Amino acid sequence: MEFNCVEIYLVDVRMSKQIKLFLPTPAKLTPIQLLIMIQLLESPKYGYEILTDLRGGFKGCWEPKTGTIYPALQSLEKRKLIASALQSGKIHYSLTREGRSMIDEMSNYVAEYLMFNSKFIESTVANMPADFTQDVFSKIHASGIDEIIPEAPILEAISRLSDVSLKHEFLEQRKKVLKKKLNLVGRYLNNLDTEVP
């Protein structure tokens, strides 16, 4: 499944804001280039390792090909955002100083992107009619991916934080969010149990 270029214009009383999904980032990076650079933040990786990590992350929802990854790597290297070096018979890629600086500056973009996508999913689900909801949720359930926004990657990301007090604060917040969600699900189950068939 290839992502399509979509432009969505959100108009709000306070401002008009253009948000682009699956289009180049403010730094003129494609989404795949951004994902590659984020992977390289912690350590160098070789091409197939990057490809495997991406495939694992998308879990069958999208199957990146070598014909997508290697041109993206070449483009990043040409822009001097990453560098390649032969290690143990494999070409490893790492961020350059310029690449690291660029990706650090993009934290606002990534935060806005994640928040927007969360709200996009929420808005989409909230406005689907019952028959369409049944069809969509049946397909999601049949895929084996029941979590639209999985908690595990969020918790894994929080666990990697170095600031222990911030880690604690984020985990407490996740706990509150999940308790609220569980209470809501419980209410719906109770309502369902009181309905007469």
Query: Which residues are 95's β-sheet partners?
Result: 82
Residue 64 contacts residue 55 (beta carbons within 8 Å): yes
Residue 83 contacts residue 96 (beta carbons within 8 Å): yes
DSSP labels, 58-122: HTTS----HHHHHHHHHHHHHTTSEEEEEETTEEEEEE-HHHHHHHHHTHHHHHHHHHHHHHHHH
Q: Which is more confident, 66 or 7?
A: 66
What does the mean pLDDT of the chain come to?
81
Residue 60 has pLDDT above 60, yes or no: yes
CATH of region 6-104: 1.10.10.10
The residue ranges of every structural domain in the chain are 6-104, 129-194
Encode pLDDT of 73-129 as tens digits.
999 999 999 999 999 899 999 999 999 999 988 888 888 888 888 888 888 888 988
Q: Is the pTM of this model over 0.85?
A: no
- Cα 22 to Cα 85: distance, rounded to the nearest angstrom: 30
Burial letters 32-46, b for 16+ CB under 10 A, else e: bbbbbbebbeeebbb
Residue 15 has pLDDT above 80, yes or no: no
Residue 9 has pLDDT above 50, yes or no: no
pLDDT of residue 24: 53
Residue 196 has pLDDT above 80, yes or no: no
Encode pLDDT of 133-167 as tens digits.
888 888 877 877 767 777 887 888 888 888 899 88
